[in-house]
Amino acid sequence: MKARRVKGWWLIRLALTIVGKKGLAELRKSSKDARKSQEKVLRSFLENSKNTVYGKEHNFSGVLEAPGQDIFEVFRKNVPVNDYENLRPYVDRHKNGEADVLFPGKPKMYGTTSGTTKEPKWIPITERYYQEVYKKSNQTWFYTLIKNKPKVFYGKTLSIVGKAIEGAAPDGTLYGSISGISQRDIPHFMEVVHTAPADVFHITDYKARYYAIMRMAIEQDVTLIITANSSTLVEMQTNANEFFDEYVQDIESGTLSRRLSIPDEIRKALESRLKPNPERAEELRQMKVRYGSVLPKHYWPRMQIVNVWMCGNATIYLEKIRDSFPSHTVFHEFSYFSTECKAGLVLKSNTLDTVPSGHMIYFEFIHESETEQKDPKIYQLWDLKKGELYCPVVTTSAGLYRYNMMDLVEVTGFYNQYPLIKFVQKVNGTVSLTGEKLHERQFIEAVRLCSQEMGLPITFLVGFANPEKSNYRFYYEFADQTISMHRAEEFTKAVDMRLREFNIEYEAKRSSSRVKAPDTSLLVKDSFEQFKAACIEKGYRDGQFKLNLLMLDEKRQEMFEKLVKK
């Protein structure tokens, strides 16, 4: 493929550098006095919302009278730590048309995500929150990519996001994917970088959507991939393996396969951007002749950055695909964020460290050891210690007050007075049968070490607690599908021994037989991909798809039982 820079690449780099430098300077300045920055942002939120329903109920006006940094303690006394169910009644009032409930006016939109009950969470996004925490910080984020890889915007960007608009609340306020909205609202001069129009994300058929995404992207010189979920990279390659020859035929003729379930309106929008490209088609055919299995490093040889989650259990999926990219490609952590809160930025590639946006969000933390306490000690942004685990509690300009993120993050260092944090796992990534509190990360590490020691590469793993038998069942997909059950059970015994080393409570419960020896199941090839496809068919959003790898969840275990080798 001939190296052709994207039209207007210089304008893109110049504009992002100008605004990005400014954003980075603001972050750096705020980090030099964390107390002052946090006081300023908290006072701003409370002043803005003191006359709302929630503000009046929780005495925001009185809190604001507290002198200096006494405001932090007074705020805690007036506002409890919340989960979504505490805030749902207020959000519902907004959804039904009421203004000035959690914040002045009504939200710009809602982001939706799964909740702890059968009802999804509707996360309000205010105009202020959108402008500051998404639009402004995204510009700084893009600048960090340029700093790490100056040629990152020379080619096209494959950005995989959710549908910008999915529906409307009872009062007509739209809801959808904030990532889709952010992509939709990029500056006009940057639209040229995308491999496909946003219409592609409205294809509901799972396989057809990935086909369309990859058919259009594989034709082009992609230098940047942006997708939060690392499992999406696996899905991209799985689709490419299955449909590569059809891609080539479509590229040669300038078509989009008719046997795929793509609505006519969306198909028309996509086909308007296609034209015959026999030269590229021949290049791809020759790649298959030369390499057999064609990988991203073959069809995207100038790939600069893959921007994706790399923390927590995302590592499992990333390791399945990392070596498929060119050796010069760098992987850039997407940062610690969720629909509820985009917490900060990762400034350097090949690190996992998020710098909290302390000038945009008010942070509090609960130490890992006190997450189950009714009245835990609260730590401020500047109180944290390197190497310790904490659960963030955030207050945002979008109406989430002292919102418990139910995540565990590790402090890895410091950026001036701001801690550097990386996501470890959900608080509920800890499972207990009789008080052993087995951590998902302990299970992952035990499997990783045993895989190395026994020379048995693993492509996927998941574990479930079984209260009826008082034990765990571990499911493995080995790279070698011929591994016998006897060998797999030996592997489980080794994993069990590692877990006993890692977790003294697990060791005590195993020694006393209160927790029985774990059971073993062998999974079919591409088990995770099949499980994810089944979930998405049931309505899960691809970009938000997350899977804890150690659970007490009968329904999900039943789904994996269907993927066990017979």
SS (H, E, C) 274-334: CCCCHHHHHHHHHHHHHHCCCCHHHHCCCCCEEEECCCCCHHHHHHCCHHHCCCCCEEEEC
Global pTM value: 0.83
User: β-strands 438-439, 430-431: how paired?
Assistant: antiparallel
Please provide the DSSP assignment of 413-471 as one string: EEETTEEEEEEEEEGGGEE-SSS--EEHHHHHHHHHHHHHHHT--EEEEEEEEETTTTE
By the 10 Å C-beta count (0-12 exposed, 13-18 middle, 19+ buried), 480 is classed as exposed
Q: How confident is the prediction along the chain (566 residues), in pLDDT tens digits per residue?
A: 666 788 888 899 999 999 999 999 999 999 999 999 999 999 999 999 999 999 999 999 999 999 999 999 999 999 999 999 999 999 999 999 999 999 999 999 999 876 555 477 899 999 999 999 998 999 999 999 999 999 999 999 999 888 888 899 999 999 988 888 888 777 777 888 999 988 998 898 888 999 999 999 999 999 999 998 887 888 889 899 999 999 999 999 999 999 989 999 999 999 999 999 999 999 999 999 999 999 999 999 999 999 999 987 778 778 888 999 999 999 999 999 988 999 999 999 989 999 999 999 999 999 998 988 889 999 999 999 999 999 999 999 999 999 999 999 999 999 999 999 999 888 877 888 877 878 888 999 999 999 999 999 999 999 999 988 889 999 999 999 999 999 999 999 999 999 999 888 888 889 878 789 999 999 999 999 899 888 887 766 666 567 889 988 888 999 999 999 98
Which element (helix H / strand E) includes 355?
strand 354-356
H or E, element range at 404:
strand 403-404
* 125 close to 132: Cβ distance less than 8 angstroms: no
Distance CA 228, CA 111 (A): 16
> b/e for 309-329, b at 16 or more Cβ within 10 A?
bbbbbbbbbbebbeebbeeeb
Nearest-angstrom CA–CA distance, 408 and 422:
9
Q: Provide φ and ψ at 510, rounded to 5°.
A: -70, -40
The full set of domains in the chain, from first to last, is: 432-561 (3.30.300)
- Eight-state DSSP code of residue 164: S
DSSP annotation of 113? E
Per-residue pLDDT tens digits for 76-124:
999 999 999 999 999 999 999 999 999 999 999 999 876 555 477 899 9
Strands 471-478 and 430-431: unpaired
Instruction: State residue 2's pLDDT score.
Output: 65
Helix extents (H) in 474-552: 485-502, 504-511, 527-537
Q: Tens of pLDDT along 241-263?
A: 999 999 999 999 999 999 989 99
Read off the pLDDT of residues 487-534 as tens digits, 9 standing for 90 and up: 999 999 999 999 999 888 888 889 878 789 999 999 999 999 899 888
Pull the structure tokens for residue 487: 């060998």
Bridge partners of 422, per DSSP, are 410
74 exposure class (CB count in 10 Å sphere: 0-12, 13-18, 19+): middle
Residues 6+ apart with CB under 8 A from 49: 55, 60, 102, 103, 104, 399
